[in-house]
Chains A and B, each alone.
Chain A
Amino acid sequence: MEYLIGIQGPDFVLVAADNVAASSIIQMKQDQDKMFKLSDKILLLCVGEAGDTVQFAEYIQKNIQLYKMRNGYELSPTAAANFTRKNLADYLRSRTPYHVNLLLAGFDETDGPGLYFMDYLSALAKAPFAAHGYGAYLTLSILDRYYRPDLTRDEAVELLKKCIEELNKRLIINLPSFSVRLIDKDGIHDLEKLVPVGAK
């Protein structure tokens, strides 16, 4: 039901998430933000089971901030991704595993932009583009076809719009709007919300 997507460019990462918070068949909220700011240049996008998402994401968020307070510098996106994966793995075979699917997007001074795909079985993969949710089945092939490593920011946004139009057309579930953010060397930028219009 929920949808996350990330596209990495040569010097930026573009991420988007849907805005619906649902409970069985009812949309309880249409403006839910599923992105959690871990640090100035790292975003964690989190979907999955109802309470687990916010609990786990906020737990990771607070621990990343604690690390910064204790050590004086921030964790890099790679380190943050691996820390998150380790936590997921530790809880996986406990009595209370977290059923969450994540995308971690960040910009590192030395390594550049990075997009990390994690799922509830605590798999971790660094990928040029990734998606979560039923929508991923529809949009991954669009990304496969049109993605290039040297995309400009506008081209990446156009590619994102292509994906969302496809969801609007074919996905049985109505996802009325998507939050979009871009991370580059200057930090996290909020872009215009994408609102697919009308049925085709």
Chain B
Amino acid sequence: VRQKNSAEYLSESPIQFGQINPNIASNFINTLHQDLVLSFPPGFPPSCSPSVPLPFTMSHGTTTLAFIFQGGVIAAADTRSSCNGLVACPASQKILPVHSHLVGTTSGTSADCALWKRILARELRLYQLRHGRRLSTAGAAKLLAHMLHPFKGTELCVAATLCGWDGGERPSLYYVCSDGTRLQGELFSVGSGSPYAYSVLDGGVRWGLTVEEATSLARQAVYRATHRDAYSGNCVDVYHITSKGWALKTLPCKEETIYKQDPETLPPSHLR
């Protein structure tokens, strides 16, 4: 691999990342379709290697959620990383800031999510340097979806919601999954605990919530999901994104604090 000089690097397309032998693939396609006027993008389709067996079980299982309201975007997640029956880490960060006005919740394989969030952050920063403006949340979601597409059919598992504020007055929420789904919406919950979170959120989310009400509702929803879902648990991280950027709103993580702060989060009476 020859070293690229900075001029080349600045004009490179991010979609090529991760392709195996893009030149060989594109040459093959070009010779086959010389008579066609329409063209294929370079390196598409990539030659995928056959599935490599995993060295150990990857971590799955989580509850994350995000919704839009009048005060911006709230993103919340639990902090448990599980590996089948083992809690690999009780204090993991599932919400990763991508840049000052974009935050991504992660679900699926922890390692894959952490890696691809970093790659996304890098590519967004490069975009900003190349074009002089920040890419919108929609653009970031599309970029992530297109970068993940070549890995479809492999064991890669990333399900993220990108919560951001697009330059101006618009909060934005996109769900991106490694199977290729990309959805824009106002309320998403992802992970093994998501059905439980959905049921709490569907009853409470309104446009007119105050910031405190929204934070409390998000915390409630994750907490209820952690109660029912074995693979979610421990504490709740809450991020609030406004036009000024993201802010962390997590409370100190002790069970008593959660109960005292919000009586509705007491465990059901038959378990007290």
Residues of A participating in the B interface, judged by any CB pair closer than 8 Å: 21, 23, 25-26, 28-29, 32, 49-52, 54-55, 63, 66-67, 70-71, 83, 91, 94-96
Contact = CB atoms under 8 A, between A and B. Distances in A.
Given A66-B39, A95-B48, A96-B153, A26 B194 contact: yes
B209 interface: no
B45 interface: yes
Contact of A51 (B47, B48, B177, B185): B177
A50 B180 contact: yes
15 contacts: A23-B177, A26-B194, A26-B195, A26-B198, A28-B183, A28-B188, A49-B180, A50-B181, A51-B181, A51-B182, A63-B38, A83-B38, A94-B45, A95-B47, A96-B152
B45 A50 contact: no
B interface, size bucket:
20 to 34
Contact of A96 (B39, B45, B177, B198): B45
A25 B198 CA distance: 12
Contacts of A29: 183, 185
B195 A25 contact: yes
A21 B183 contact: yes
A51 B152 contact: yes
A21 B176 CA distance: 13
Interface in B34-73: 37-39, 45, 47-48
B180 A54 contact: yes
A28 B180 contact: no
Q: Which 6 A-B pairs have the closest CB atoms?
A: A51-B180, A50-B179, A50-B181, A63-B38, A51-B179, A96-B45
Contacts of B195: 25-26
B38 A28 contact: no
Given A21-B181, A21-B183, A50-B181, 20 more contacts: A23-B177, A23-B181, A26-B194, A28-B175, A28-B185, A29-B183, A29-B185, A49-B179, A51-B145, A52-B180, A63-B39, A66-B38, A66-B39, A67-B37, A67-B38, A83-B38, A94-B45, A95-B48, A96-B48, A96-B152
A51 B149 contact: yes
